[in-house]
């Protein structure tokens, strides 16, 4: 007869936990969570067959748009993002003082997040922007919209390379955003407690300690995806440069090489520059 331990897993006659066994309630909860996740996946693109066409013609002068700034707020009738007119009004207000080209880029992405009769047109304009105005866009586009552009390449890319670069960039950028949000929330007004590490590893990160090459390997993978990413390489390279020059988890981890606990790492590897000794 099997003995049932406190955590709900069954033990065999020798008292060891059966490999791979999970409480039935836990398996049911996981299955339900995956079912709901799959349901959301199937609904990623909402159907909007009557959405109006608010895009300019596909041969619009993109250079002229890059020179014109948005100087006037738009009156927002409602805040339903499913309403493309309201979506354009809200985007206009968020781009005040910035160029009309940046607004058009965001509007094209908004169309490409929905199933409308204007998908092909939005995709043509989106690609034209990155083909013809990539130098302007990589300088002007904020990380938020670089990540949105990369997600768009994942969703609509012309080949596997664009889709891979888009997906890598989307995950890379968003995971950093999630981490930085959590870090800011938990560390608000507190200096990092750099000395409170034990066994030369970070609590909760079994198998990783500052100085390991995991972080640089992540960045190498992102760079590899960018170099073979076709048109999607442009926003991904821009995002990579932003991360390399910003104060994020990468730079803070690199700085730990000055802490005695980690200074003894025989091959401390920086997240972008490699080994320092």
Determine the Cα–Cα distance for residues 107 and 115; give it in Å rounded to an integer: 14
Q: Which has the closest alpha carbon to 166: 178, 150, 179, 184?
A: 150
Please give the pLDDT value at position 16: 44
Q: Which has the closest alpha carbon to 109: 127, 134, 93?
A: 127
**DSSP states of 33-64:** HHHHHHHHHHTSSEE-TT----S--TT--HHH
Boundaries of every domain in the chain: 51-140, 146-188+209-277
Contact 170, 144 (CB under 8 A): no
First to last CA, the chain: 58
Determine the Cα–Cα distance for residues 58 and 39; give it in Å rounded to an integer: 34
Q: Which has the closest alpha carbon to 98: 54, 59, 144?
A: 144
What are the phi and psi torsion angles at 116 (to 5°)?
-130, 170
| Number of C-beta neighbours around residue 240 at 10 A | 21
| Number of C-beta neighbours around residue 197 at 10 A | 17
Q: Over its length of 277 residues, how does the chain's per-residue pLDDT go in tens digits?
A: 444 444 444 444 444 444 455 566 666 766 777 777 677 777 788 899 999 999 999 999 999 999 999 998 878 877 787 899 999 999 999 999 999 999 999 999 999 999 999 999 999 999 999 999 999 999 999 998 999 999 999 999 999 999 999 999 999 988 888 687 667 666 666 655 555 555 555 555 555 677 777 788 788 888 888 888 999 999 999 998 988 888 888 888 888 888 877 787 888 888 888 888 6
With the C-alpha atoms ordered 240, 64, 79, 38, is the resulting torsion angle positive or negative? negative
Beta strands in the chain (DSSP E): 46-47, 114-115, 269-270, 274-275
Please give the pLDDT value at position 38: 76
Burial 100-136 (b: 16+ CB within 10 A, else e): bbbbbbbbbbbbbbbebebeebbbebbbbbbeebbeb
Indicate whether this model's pTM tops 0.85: no
**DSSP states of 64-88:** HHHH-B--SPPPPS---TTSHHHHH
Q: Which has the closest alpha carbon to 100: 132, 146, 55?
A: 55
């Amino acid at each position: 007869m099997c003995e049932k331990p406190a955590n709900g897993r069954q033990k065999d006659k020798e008292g060891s936990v059966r490999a791979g066994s999970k409480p039935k309630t836990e398996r049911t909860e996981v299955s339900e969570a995956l079912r709901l996740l799959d349901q959301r996946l199937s609904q990623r693109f909402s159907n909007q067959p009557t959405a109006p066409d608010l895009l300019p013609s596909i041969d619009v002068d993109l250079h002229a748009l890059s020179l014109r700034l948005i100087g006037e707020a738009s009156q927002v009738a409602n805040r339903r993002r499913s309403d493309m007119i309201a979506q354009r009004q809200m985007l206009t207000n968020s781009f005040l003082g910035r160029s009309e080209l940046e607004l058009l880029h965001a509007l094209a992405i908004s169309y490409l997040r929905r199933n409308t009769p204007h998908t092909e047109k939005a995709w043509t304009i989106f690609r034209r922007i990155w083909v013809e105005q990539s130098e302007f866009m990589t300088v002007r586009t904020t990380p938020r919209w670089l990540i949105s552009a990369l997600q768009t390449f994942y969703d609509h890319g012309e080949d596997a390379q664009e889709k891979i670069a888009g997906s890598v960039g989307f995950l890379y950028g968003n995971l950093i955003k999630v981490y930085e949000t959590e870090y800011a929330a938990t560390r608000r007004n507190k200096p990092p407690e750099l000395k409170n590490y034990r066994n030369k590893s970070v609590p909760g990160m079994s198998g990783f300690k500052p100085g390991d090459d995991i972080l640089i390997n992540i960045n190498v993978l992102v760079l590899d995806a960018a170099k073979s990413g076709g048109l999607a390489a442009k926003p991904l390279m821009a995002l990579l440069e932003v991360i390399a020059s910003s104060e994020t988890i990468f730079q803070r981890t690199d700085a730990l090489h000055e802490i005695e606990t980690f200074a003894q790492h025989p091959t401390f590897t920086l997240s972008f520059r490699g080994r320092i000794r």
